[in-house]
Structure 1
Amino acid sequence: MATPWTGDDQEWWDWYMTLAHDADIAPAPLLPGPRSATGAVASDREVTEALAAPYALPDEAVAFFGRHGFVRLPHVLAPAVVAALARCADRLLTAAHGTDNPGRFLALEQLWPREPLMRSVALSRRLGDIAARLLGVDALRLYHDNILSKEPLCGRTPWHRDSDHYPLDSTAVVTSWIPLGEIPDAMGPLACLSRREAARALSGLPASPHRRSYDELVAARLHEAAARPVATPFAVGEVSFHASDCFHTAGPNRTTAPRRVLSCTYYEDGSRIVDEPTALSGAWTDFVPGVRPGEVAASALNPVVGTRAPAS
C-alpha cells in the first residue's frame, strides 16, 4: 500500500478499525461501565507539577520491557490527576464529536499546541524520561499525542505493531498508554504480546498489515501456538508503555461507557522519515510538518521531551 493517505486522521481511524476480522459485535446486552470517580480533581497547576516530577522506575521494569517489548507501571499518576485529564478529554471529545457515537473509535491528535493540560502530558518529563530509559537512548522527541476513545459497541482493534505505521527509520520508538479511568475486561483493555511469544508464533507473516486477512492470520497463528497476550484490566493511575515492534490489540467495548485513553509516541532524536511512507502512516505530515521523506524528523512539533537518567 504505497499510496500516501489523503484523508484526515479521524477518517484514517474509521478505516483502520474495519481491518479487524471480527470488527462487528452484537449490539446487546451492554454491561454497566465503571463508576465515575467521585474524589478530588487536581488543578491545572497540580497536574503540571505531577507530570514534571521524576518517577522511580525500577531496574526490573526496564529489564522486563527489554525482554517483552512492553511494561505496565503502577501509580504513575495520582487519581486526582487522572480525573482532571479525564474531564479535559471529555470536554474536547464532546466539542469535536458530540455525545452519541455508538460503535466508533474516536481520536483527537496534536492537542498539545493548543490545550495547556494536554501540553502537560505531551511534554511531560515524567513520562518522557521513563520512555527514554526504557529504550536506553539519550534523548527522545515527541511524534504526536492523542486522545483515543473506544465508544460503547466499538469492536476489536486489529492486531498490529506500530513499526508498520510510523514513518520512522528507527526501532527506538515507544508509545505511552494512559487510561483515563478504570478499564475492566468488558471495556477492551490494551493487550500486548511478548516479544518471545511473537518470535515463536508470528515469524515470517506473509500477509500485508493493511488487509483484514492480516488480523485474521495473526489471531489464527496465536491460537495454534497457544500464545496469549497480557490483557488484564487497568487500574486508575497505571500506565503502559509498548515498543514499536510489540504486537498488540484491544477487545471490544461491551459497556455503556466510553473507554478513554491518552497516548503519546516518542522516538529517538536523530531518526529520519523513511523514504516511502505509506497510507498506514495516516496523516503523518501533520505530525512532522515541513519534513520530507529521508530527512531528519525534527520539526517545531517534535520537541525533545525525554532524556535517559544517569545510571545509579
Structure 2
Amino acid sequence: MASSSQPTAPAGLDLIDQPYSVTPEQLKQFREDGFIKLKDVFDQAVLNHYGDVITRLTLDHNPNKDTPLEKRSTYGKAFIQVGHLWHKDADAKAFTFSQRIARIAAELLGTRGVRLYHDQSLYKEPGGGFTPWHVDQQYWPMASARSVTAWIPLQPVPTEMGPLCFGKGSHLKNIGRDLAISDESEQRIRDAIRQEGLIEVYEPYDLGEVSFHYGWTLHRAGPNTTEQPRKVHTVIYMDQDMLLAEPKNDNQRGNWQALTSDVKVGEVMAGKNHPVIWSLDDA
C-alpha cells in the first residue's frame, strides 16, 4: 500500500501503481542468481511520459555537460549520472515512488516493506564507454544484504546500447566488495569471475522490461555504439527495517553524510531521505 506521502500518477498512467505478479519460481530464481529481468512491467505510455521528464532533468542537471566525452575518466565516459530526481520534480517523484516497482522489490527481498535509499538516472551517451564491473553496496553503509536496485530502461536496450551484464550467483561470492567502480575493479573482478567460473549474463532488454539485482551482485555494462542515448532510471530500495552500519570506507562515509546524516549508527535508516515506499503495515 502507498504511504501518506505517495504522489498520484496522472490519468491514464496508473499502471505504475498497479500490482505485478511475481511467481514463486521467479522469487527462487532471483535469490539464486542475484538478479532477475521481468517482462512488461511498464507500457509505452508510461515510458513516454516519465521518460520525457527524466530526460529533461538529466540534461538540465548533467554534471558532464562542460567536459567533452574524450576528456573524461572511465567513470565519466560510462554515463551521465543525476541523483535524487524525486526531489526535483513531482512527476519524477511519482515514478520513483511507483507502488508497482516497490512491491516487486519487497517481494524479491522477502521483507515486510521497502524504503527508498535513492534514485538516479544513468544515461549512456552515443559513443559512451563501458561501465566497469562493480557491486553497488560497496557504497552504502547498510547492516544487511537486503537491498535491491531496480534498473528501468526508458526504451528497448539492444546489446549495442550497453545493457547490464550480471555475474550469475555472484552475490554469494566475496568478490570485489572492497573495490570502487574503476579500471581496477573492471580488471580484478573480471579475472575473479573467470577464476570462479561464474556465468556472465549479457542480454538485451525489451520495451517495458525491468531488472532487479541485489546490492552485492556483480554487474557491468558494455559501451553504447549506437547514435541514440541509453536512457535508464534506477531506484535503490532497502529493507524497511535496515540499520545504519558503521561505514567501512570513504564512499560509505560520504553516503552517510550526504544522505543519512540524520541517522546514527545502529538505528533504522528512517531519515528524511529514506521514506517507506511500500509496506504490508499500510495494507
Does TM, scored on the shorter chain, surpass 0.5?
yes
Pairing partner for 1:279 from 241, 250, 254: 250
Shift of 1:278: 2.6
- Partner residue, 1:52: 17
Which moves more between the two structures, 279-288 or 180-189?
279-288
Which moves more between the two structures, 88-97 or 72-81?
88-97
- Residue 182 in structure 1 maps to residue 156 in structure 2: yes
Contact 1:82 1:180 in 2 (8 A): yes
Tell me how far apart the structure 1 counterparts of residues 18 and 35 of structure 2 sit (CA, whole Å).
Answer: 22
Tell me how far apart the structure 2 counterparts of residues 89 and 206 of structure 1 sit (CA, whole Å).
Answer: 31
Mark the CA change 1:101 to 1:233 in structure 2 (over 3 Å): closer, same or farther: farther
Mark the CA change 1:189 to 1:104 in structure 2 (over 3 Å): closer, same or farther: closer
1:299 maps to amino acid? G
Contact 2:17 2:98 in 1 (8 A): yes
Shift of 1:221: 2.7
Tell me how far apart the structure 2 counterparts of residues 208 and 288 of structure 1 sit (CA, whole Å).
Answer: 21
Q: Deviations over 1:245-291 (max 9, x none)?
A: 21111111112221111111111122122212533335443332422
- Partner residue, 2:27: 62
CA RMSD, aligned part only? 2.4
Pairing partner for 2:95 from 121, 135, 147: 121
Q: How many residues align?
A: 262
- 1:170-249, aligned counterparts within 5 Å? 170-195=144-169, 203=173, 205=175, 208-210=178-180, 212-249=183-220
2:22 maps to amino acid? L
Tell me how far apart the structure 1 counterparts of residues 250 and 188 of structure 2 sit (CA, whole Å).
Answer: 21
* TM-score after normalising by structure 2: 0.84
* TM-score after normalising by structure 1: 0.76
Q: Deviations over 1:104-128 (max 9, x none)?
A: 5211111113311111122111111
Find runs of 4+ consecutive structure 1 residues off by over 6 angstroms.
Answer: none
Shift of 1:240: 0.3
- Partner residue, 1:89: 54
- Partner residue, 2:262: 290
Tell me how far apart the structure 1 counterparts of residues 157 and 256 of structure 2 sit (CA, whole Å).
Answer: 29
1:132 maps to amino acid? A
1:62 maps to amino acid? L
Pairing partner for 2:85 from 88, 111, 126: 111
- Partner residue, 1:7: none
2:217 maps to amino acid? C
